[in-house]
Amino acid sequence: MKIYHNPRCSKSRETLQIIEDKGAAVEIVKYMDDALTPDELNDIIAMLGIQPMGLIRKSEKIWKEEFKDKELSNEELVLAMIEYPQLMERPIVVKGNKAVLGRPPENVNELL
């Protein structure tokens, strides 16, 4: 199991706590420090079963200032999340070929 984790995010911390409380082995990926590749992010988006726009945090300042009024392709949205990882909803938990978004944190129970 792998969690794409931002320690500054309360939902991310809560999701990680649920995983640890269940005793599951987990790899922590601090995606804010170590950028994902476009292929990695596209794989995650596919496992989530969403379009890239579904992973965008539209309340982020950078989104409002740089992207809000633009029509962006899926590829451009992925590249925006790579360049500005704070735009990604979090946390994302992956197990095998399944992924869930930890909003709410209890969603992780689908993978445990």
Question: What is the helix (H) or strand (E) element at residue 70, kind and residue range?
Answer: none
Of these residues, 3, 9, 41, 108, which one is catalytic? 9
Whether residue 104 has a cis bond before it, omega within 30° of 0: yes
Sign of CA dihedral 71, 54, 40, 29: positive
Whether residue 9 lies in the annotated active site: yes
Q: In 1-112, which residue ranges form alpha helices assigned H by DSSP?
A: 10-21, 38-48, 61-66, 74-83
Known catalytic residues? 9
